[in-house]
Amino acid sequence: MTTLLPHIQIETAPQPSAAVIWLHGLGADGNDFAGLVPELDVSGCPAIRFIFPHAPAIPVTVNGGYVMPAWYDIFGADLVSRQDTVGIRASARAVAALIEREMARGIPAHRIVLAGFSQGCAMALHTGLRFPHTLAGIMALSGYLPLADQFAAERTAANAHTPIFMAHGSQDPVVVPARGEASRDLLVKMGYPVQWHSYPMPHSLHPREVADIAIFLKQVLAHDVA
């Protein structure tokens, strides 16, 4: 049994019937986006339970082996020439366990959004599109699809039509725009409904992006589906 990741939990109202699981980036923790909840205009949505998990602390090769919160190791700045397959798959199991825990608490998969920034974005795409139950949506912020060469064989039909919100900064020096665009192009080619948003920013969050995230959440969560 996978040990449940430690996390922050925020509910917009009692008895939530929807959930958003939001994964932070390298070196951060669940607090990184928890403060964003009051800024999101989710009027019209049912009560939402936001879950912000903390990644385990591991040595990160690209940062000289410094131990920091990370979903997986990063071996080089280009991100994709050599990837931590074992680490990515281990974190995917831990994230899937969080989704399954929400399902066990009474929120069906089709009312759950999986979100992530940077490394968390990579994990959201990797885990969500392989998950065996249909999710409400995936938010992929300033990141990319890892293990792309294995994706076609491992993706599930359950999430073949799940709405994907992808956002990227046009001046991002960490995950260069071309990396996100390549992931977008692959997903679009495979038939996924991708909403692509580019913002004039580095590796961060843009005020207009926050508004667009709220719009996306209302699109996929505002109307309950039996």
Q: For residue 93, how many other CB atoms are within 10 A of its CB?
A: 10
Q: Annotated catalytic, 172?
A: yes
Distance CA 94, CA 5 (A): 7
Residue tagged active-site, from 91, 118, 142, 183: 118
What angle separates helix 119-128 from helix 85-104, to the nearest 10 degrees? 70
Distance CA 56, CA 41 (A): 31
Catalytic choice (24, 168, 172, 183): 172
Tokens of residue 159, six digits: 């999430």
* Residue 91 annotated as catalytic: no
Closest CA to 44 of 212, 164, 213, 220: 220
State how beta strands 164-169 and 57-60 pair. unpaired
Q: Which two tokens stand for residue 143?
A: 């990141």
Q: How many CB atoms lie within 10 A of CB 198?
A: 16
In one-letter notation, the amino acid at residue 151 is F
Indicate if 198 belongs to the active site: no
Tokens standing for residue 12: 């917009």
Catalytic residues: 118, 172, 203
